Structure 1
């Protein structure tokens, strides 16, 4: 099954890499229409659960209907859409503003201005080898988060391309799209877990007679229902993953506009090398030298492995391909960008800005090193 999925994912990513910007940027696709239609039906179902639960509680004069109403409300609560929260978005990271990080915040604002993307309300630097953008909470707060290890692994111009990519998700409202599609993405899976019977034999649970027969029948029926629900969940997940992969390539077009074609290609090559970089950050550095030593180590490792990049790109196209993946492989994304016309950067980082940015982030690297020593 894994091999079949990898082959199918490889073909799907190859088709995606062959599409032009207009096809990638299309807002309405068959997959999205299906996801939205299913989400509308499931959302209406959740609202119906709420209405039925309230009606049973209000009109019920006996315990059974009141208990049934409470159960329906509980089920609706479990199936409710999640908006995310500001607290979770900033957990484990540093929230930076123009006062604490003027250079980094300035790069983000310039990239947003040059590309026409909305400016994030919160800029977070965390400790992960990752970057993401999302819109969270009832106030729909726009959050841009970049991992400090990721920043140290990239040049300043490559960082602009990465920022442009994440701003692309905000510009194309990918967070809003996922919110609308959330019922289709999650409800079937949640119901499958709720309905799934416990594992194990009834005899092992010391059941006998009618209880054993009833337990076995329940396992069979509930297991079949859970399987059907999981199959529906898998189908929705496959559609959603395809839309997410297209959104990643679409956001890469914004990376090119912000940081330029060259920096975007270099940034994607860094992502190809990333599996070999994640374990290089260690706490055994002299005080005050964490950022400098880590940056040098990451750059040296990337330089020594650069000759293997053509092979690693091809390997990522095959090993990371999957219909269940929400991102195309880094090698495939690089292929898509390399097939586009060359674009000069809209935001250029000067040597002075680069030095100021490094000085600005050095205290965060020291805090990360101290945290790693404690852990």
Structure 2
């Protein structure tokens, strides 16, 4: 198989599918990108070969390492804050008070982020049973059938995406569904997407990421803090001994920053591996909710997504946005259906990366296709589908107005 001028590959054995030819950039950059893609390809292939029991295992060696590092770093941040408070309280002179304030500022920068409800719902429409009874009922029925918790907040936004998050001190569960994604899916495929996102809530992936957060973020933040400024002493008009001090700062600070950034990359690679495993684990919940067929069809929509995101436009008659957009998205998908076998494998090549937090859509579909076929636990009837479409049509009109203002 081949597409345009991409390296050819074997569709059955995946020979040469890991060949990636980046264009542009330096030799070193192209080399690093190629190594990352090939390593990511191998990691994704291993992940696709795991069974349900292995994928469902939430305690892994990588998770344990991230937790241990987070525990140490979290204790260090608390100690930094405590030292800063002690210096401010006990200090009688400006230097110790200033040092205490600096330590408190550092602890504040390194603190864990819990997120907020306000941020989670920004740019979207918060829906409840009064505004969207059919959609809320579908989410509730899906949650009940797969044993997942019901989201506290349901948001429909304008993004070509869907996600679930747990935010704030109260740990509010938020389910976000992008209206463009909803319009690109059939109602049964929508159940698959809802089941996938609820799977993240059922497996407490938000809590896992929160516990791992210090390991994911602290080294990177420290690397940015200690990184010296670029440029030369001459550019800054320094004279006397200052140029030597500035050069020393650049060498020492740059080395420390590099070491910290290397640790950050290492933690990020571990964390991304855990996130990719979590995505496949959530796909299993998608299959249980919508059935194998709808789950695979929803993943095929992800394969086609790069060609769908620019199709929605505001040049539609009043009251016709939802129907026109849905027909347009369905028509493009139908015309490209014959290319799906090639595009699935092309996504396996182009989206492979050790730094990616999602496996390629083609690889995820491969994993689902290898499992035993399951019938759907939630079936959307034609009457329910019409109700869903009627509820979402006004949101499409509001989205048109937003697009026209932009």
Q: TM-score, normalised to structure 1's length?
A: 1.00
Decide which of 68, 75, 90 is 2:99's aligned counterpart.
68
Runs of 5+ consecutive residues of structure 1 not aligned to the other structure: none
User: 2:151 matched to which residue of 1?
Assistant: 120
| Residue 209 of structure 1: how far off its partner (Å) | 2.2
Decide which of 176, 183, 196 is 2:227's aligned counterpart.
196
User: 1:272 matched to which residue of 2?
Assistant: 303
Q: In the alignment, does 2:57 pair up with 1:26?
A: yes
Residue-pair matches, total: 375
User: 2:286 matched to which residue of 1?
Assistant: 255
Deviation by residue 1:177-236 (Cα, 9 ceiling, x = unmatched): 000000000000000000000110111111122001000000100000000000000000
Q: Secondary structure at 1:104's aligned position in 2?
A: helix
Q: Which runs of 4+ in 1 moved over 3 A?
A: none
Q: In the alignment, does 2:182 pair up with 1:151?
A: yes
- Give 1:142-221 correspondences, 5 Å limit: 142-221=173-252
User: 1:80 matched to which residue of 2?
Assistant: 111
Greater helix content = 1
Q: Secondary structure at 1:205's aligned position in 2?
A: coil
Instruction: Indicate the RMSD between aligned Cα atoms, in angstroms.
Output: 0.4
Q: In the alignment, does 2:263 pair up with 1:232?
A: yes
What is the alpha-carbon distance in structure 2 between the residues aligned to residue 329 and residue 202 of structure 1? Answer: 46
What is the alpha-carbon distance in structure 1 between the residues aligned to residue 311 and residue 299 of structure 2? Answer: 19
What is the alpha-carbon distance in structure 2 between the residues aligned to residue 259 and residue 100 of structure 1? Answer: 24
User: 1:324 matched to which residue of 2?
Assistant: 355
Deviation by residue 1:76-100 (Cα, 9 ceiling, x = unmatched): 0000000000000000000000110
Decide which of 68, 73, 79 is 1:48's aligned counterpart.
79
Q: Secondary structure at 1:209's aligned position in 2?
A: coil
What is the alpha-carbon distance in structure 1 between the residues aligned to residue 384 and residue 60 of structure 2? Answer: 42
Q: In the alignment, does 2:42 pair up with 1:8?
A: no
Decide which of 319, 337, 357 is 1:288's aligned counterpart.
319
User: 2:67 matched to which residue of 1?
Assistant: 36
Deviation by residue 1:157-196 (Cα, 9 ceiling, x = unmatched): 0000000000000000000000000000000000000000
Decide which of 350, 368, 378 is 1:337's aligned counterpart.
368
Q: In the alignment, does 2:389 pair up with 1:358?
A: yes
What is the alpha-carbon distance in structure 1 between the residues aligned to residue 81 and residue 400 of structure 2? Answer: 49
What is the alpha-carbon distance in structure 1 between the residues aligned to residue 198 and residue 302 of structure 2? Answer: 18
Runs of 5+ consecutive residues of structure 2 not aligned to the other structure: 1-31
| Residue 27 of structure 1: how far off its partner (Å) | 1.5
Q: Secondary structure at 1:7's aligned position in 2?
A: helix
Deviation by residue 1:57-110 (Cα, 9 ceiling, x = unmatched): 111000100010010000000000000000000000000001100011011000
